[in-house]
Amino acid sequence: MTGIEKFQKERAELAELMTEKADMSMKRFLNLDSKVYEDGAIPAKQKEMLGLVASLVLRCDDCINYHLVQCHKARVTEAEIVEAMDIGLVVGGSITIPHIRRALKSWGELEEGK
Amino acid sequence: MTGIEKFQKERAELAELMTEKADMSMKRFLNLDSKVYEDGAIPAKQKEMLGLVASLVLRCDDCINYHLVQCHKARVTEAEIVEAMDIGLVVGGSITIPHIRRALKSWGELEEGK
Amino acid sequence: MTGIEKFQKERAELAELMTEKADMSMKRFLNLDSKVYEDGAIPAKQKEMLGLVASLVLRCDDCINYHLVQCHKARVTEAEIVEAMDIGLVVGGSITIPHIRRALKSWGELEEGK
Amino acid sequence: MTGIEKFQKERAELAELMTEKADMSMKRFLNLDSKVYEDGAIPAKQKEMLGLVASLVLRCDDCINYHLVQCHKARVTEAEIVEAMDIGLVVGGSITIPHIRRALKSWGELEEGK
Amino acid sequence: MTGIEKFQKERAELAELMTEKADMSMKRFLNLDSKVYEDGAIPAKQKEMLGLVASLVLRCDDCINYHLVQCHKARVTEAEIVEAMDIGLVVGGSITIPHIRRALKSWGELEEGK
Amino acid sequence: MTGIEKFQKERAELAELMTEKADMSMKRFLNLDSKVYEDGAIPAKQKEMLGLVASLVLRCDDCINYHLVQCHKARVTEAEIVEAMDIGLVVGGSITIPHIRRALKSWGELEEGK
């Protein structure tokens, strides 16, 4: 199993646990968290890239991996991923580099797994 | 060994190493870090929940696990834990979700281990 | 007009603008943001203190002021405010000190304005 | 003078001071900071929105205002701005709300100033 | 009055208020906060630069101004300040730029006020 | 293999992947990221300590480990490391403690591996 596949499996298990334990407020948040990435004035593909860069500057590997998977499904190209990461890197600084390294590995696995 | 037990074992080992290497300033900080959670105008139980939410919005898994253990000892209920996490989730955003997922798993282990 | 009164006036004006411009998702978030502080397994008063400490460690003066007003309405005492801030200070570090200084000034104004 | 005009004036003055005091490394960073927002695999307009959301979740008013000006020049619509902010709000949490309020005011000023 | 003088005056007033309201834990923190910048294995001058860069990457203008004043007293040169800021800028990213701009203005005022 | 050796091996592999995938902007950033730690008005040894404290308050284990290795090569003493960490701890708060614990373990491994 690749790293990104392992991430997806573990995420699915823990997401199920969260849904089970969640009260109404938590459920509403989770719904809203899906809602804001849907097609609208901004197309879904671009929204995933917004989510990716936000996750990168806040340095959350799980969130980065999630949005990489979504970007991959939305047919974002590697050149677009790298340019989005450039912005995250310049805005967020060298502290984002370890996350970019791991993200590029995940991206490679997604591309190979096509 | 459950995840939370593994966390407690590793934390104990590293905490011992830190005490060994710490100078006077570091020791004073560690003392103060115990002091502020003691019973006072705010009861210790509520203080642990303050520590939990602070740790959640700052997204530190080790700190979250530590305060979950303390909350469990102080007989915080699951409904209280979930409502405290709701506040952390709303204040801190979806970037806290991976931490909430892992925290709910730790909490489940603490409840089962009673 | 005291500093905290000025804050409340400006906040009200900008909050109105936000409601006016907000789409459905933004409105849902704002509703949820009220919801999570309501009485539940954790009483509303304690939830405001959770919101206060979360705001302090994330270093948001506007959020701190908002929760100070709510804490004041909920009859939180100054001793409780100071102990909550102690936790924020220890968890979040000296970087929170300028926010604590301003918060204590706001709190004094709220107490005098009773 | 509107708030956003005042921001632009002060920013220009301080940016000049920074250029004057900057050494080679600082200059290189500033060049790179322009470079990453240029048209490429991702169009400049979308890159400004990436910069906007990154600035929002990191909660930097000056950076938000700067990217709002750039978005306005690139003919981003208000509906797009609001949806981009929805993502920032959900990812970054209620702690971003004071910044969104101020950003919507700046945006209104930019729209009126057309 | 220059910007940095205004900062120092307001800081002194609010610091007095904090000391007045502080309980034992808060006082201990404030003592420790002085202690760690004293001469030791690392000279006080270098410690102020550590405090400056930490404040810059955490983006706290008040903390930056405080350490700039201390650095100025310790005869840190402008070239050293700029190189320290280069590190903060690269580590923390473009989000630190507005703080660097304001810091360079404060530094200029300190140099002129000699 | 010790923890710090494992870190160095994995870092080298991922850094190679990053260089391979990087576009011109990313490469420029990486160059600049080396440049700012070179000897200048501030000696390289002190710059590594600035990088260490910046990494600690931003709570990035990989960045901390990297600068610990560099500090070790530059013959920083353990007393200096501990005092630098004291500053990071006081500025950044108890949320940095898990990182300090792990850093002290890494440092011990570097010292033993001499």
**Exposure on the CB side of residue F83, measured as CA atoms within 13 A:** 21
Give which of B36, E90, C11 is closest to D102, Cα–Cα: C11
Which residues in chain C have their CB less than 8 angstroms from residue E22's CB? 82
Tokens of B43: 């009861």
Average pLDDT over residues C74-102: 98
DSSP state of C74: T
Which ranges in A22-93 belong to alpha helices (H)?
24-35, 44-57, 61-73, 78-92
Query: What's the mean per-residue pLDDT of chain F?
Result: 97
Q: Which residues of F touch E90 (CB under 8 A)?
A: 32-33, 36
Question: How confident is the model at residue F113, as a pLDDT?
Answer: 85
Helix (H) or strand (E) holding F27: helix F24-35
Q: In angstroms, rounded to a whole number, what is the distance separating the alpha carbons of residues B85 and B97?
A: 10
Q: Answer whether D25 sits within 8 Å of E86, measured CB to CB.
A: yes
Mean pLDDT calculated for residue range B64-73: 98
Residue E64: its pLDDT value, please?
98
With tokens 């405080």, the residue in question is E66
ipTM of the complex: 0.97
The pLDDT assigned to A30 comes to 98
Chain B interface residues (partner E, CB cutoff 8 A): 25, 28-29, 32, 35-36
- CA nearest F91: which of C3, A57, B61, E36? E36
d(CA D17, CA A107): 41
Specify whether the CB–CB gap between E110 and E69 falls below 8 A. yes
CA A66 to chain centre: 3
Counting DSSP H helices and E strands in chain D, the numbers are 6, 0
Q: What pLDDT score does C105 carry? A: 98
Enumerate residues 6+ apart whose C-beta is below 8 A from F100. Answer: B18, B26, F56, F85, F88, F89
Residue of A101, A106, A110, A111 best to disrupt the F interface, most CBs of F under 10 A: A101
Chain E residues whose beta carbon lies within 8 Å of the beta carbon of residue C98: 11, 14, 60, 62-63
Domain that holds residue A22: 3-112
Integer-rounded Cα Rg, in Å, for chain F is 14
CA E12 to chain centre: 14
Question: What pLDDT does residue B11 have?
Answer: 97
E52/F42 Cα distance (integer angstroms): 14
Chain D residues inside the 8 Å CB shell of E102: 14
Residue from C94, C96, C100 to probe the interface with F (highest F Cβ count within 10 Å): C94
Count up the domains in chain D and report the number: 1
Yes or no: say if E80 and E49 are a contact pair by the CB < 8 Å rule.
Answer: yes
Supply the CATH number for residue D71's domain.
Answer: 1.20.1290.10
CA dist C71 and C85 (Å) reads: 13
d(CA F91, CA C94): 5
Report how many Cβ contacts below 8 Å link chain A to chain B. Answer: 52
DSSP F96: G
Q: Does the pLDDT value for residue E114 go beyond 80?
A: no
For E42-58, what is the mean pLDDT?
Answer: 98
Phi, psi of D111, deg, nearest 5:
-65, -45
What is the chain A residue with the closest CA to D67?
A91
- How far is residue C50's CA from residue C67's CA, in Å, rounded to a whole number? 9
Short-list F14, F30, F43, A100, CA closest to E90: F30
Q: State the amino acid at position F59 in one-letter form.
A: R
**Interface residue of D21, D23, D25, D33 to substitute, partner F, most F CBs within 10 Å:** D25
Chains that touch D (3 or more CB pairs under 8 A): A, B, C, E, F
Per-residue pLDDT in tens (0 to 9) along chain A, 114 residues: 999 999 999 999 999 999 999 999 999 999 999 999 999 999 999 999 999 999 999 999 999 999 999 999 999 999 999 999 999 999 999 999 999 999 999 999 999 986
Please, are residues D65 and E97 in contact by the beta-carbon 8 Å criterion?
no
Stretches where chain D sits below pLDDT 50 are none
Q: Which amino acid makes up residue E21?
A: K
Asked whether residue E113 carries a pLDDT value surpassing 90, the answer given is no
Alpha-carbon distance A27 to nearest alpha carbon in chain B (angstroms): 10
| E101 contact partners, CB below 8 Å, separation of at least 6 | D11, D14, D15, D17, D18
- Helix then strand count (H, E) for chain B reads 6, 0
The answer to whether A55 touches A84, Cβ cutoff 8 Å, is: no
Does position B2 have pLDDT exceeding 90, yes or no? yes
Residue B98: half-sphere exposure toward Cβ, Cα within 13 Å: 20
Instruction: Report d(CA D59, CA D54) in Å as an integer.
Output: 8
Distance separating alpha carbons of residues D7 and D93, to the nearest angstrom: 25
What does the pLDDT average to over B66-72?
98
Residue in B with minimal Cα distance to A36: B94
pLDDT digits (tens, 9 = 90+) for A62-86: 999 999 999 999 999 999 999 999 9
Cβ contact B30:B22 at 8 Å: yes
End-to-end alpha-carbon separation of chain D, Å? 14
Are C89 and F89 an interchain contact pair (Cβ–Cβ within 8 Å)?
Answer: no
Instruction: Looking at the complex, report in whole angstroms how far the Cα of residue D36 sits from the nearest Cα belonging to chain F.
Output: 7
Residues of E in Cβ contact (< 8 Å) with A96? 93
